[in-house]
Amino acid sequence: MGEKYKFSLWDYMFASGDPARRRKDNTEEGIFCSQLIAMVYQHMGIMREDVGAGKFLPGAFAAGSALPFIGDAGLGTEYLIDFFV
């Protein structure tokens, strides 16, 4: 189901602001769900843009993580959703 999870530690560690050094960043084919969420938060103006959205892995949005929000913005309580009820 879905597409194979693509991750390159090399690309993640050495990606810079130069799009030529990135592989498929910011495209539908090469974006993490966490990167998409960070881009949305940045577009909404609630997350600092000096930290590139591509630097966020899924675990960055876990409870207790320090995210670079602006002002009073932040995440609320984390809830477990059970789809097998």
Tokens for 78?
């984390």
Place of tokens 């960043």: 25
Q: Write phi, then psi, for 28 (nearest 5 degrees).
A: -65, -25
How high is the pLDDT of residue 73? 92
Contact 15, 36 (CB under 8 A): no
How high is the pLDDT of residue 8? 64
Angle at 41 between CA 3 and CA 65, to 5 degrees: 85
Enumerate the domain spans of the chain: 1-85
In the chain, % helix, strand, coil (3-state, to 5) comes to 35, 0, 65
One digit per residue, the tens of pLDDT, for the chain of length 85 reads 555 656 666 666 665 554 444 444 455 556 778 888 999 999 999 999 999 888 888 888 888 888 999 999 988 888 888 998 6
User: pTM of the full predicted structure?
Assistant: 0.61
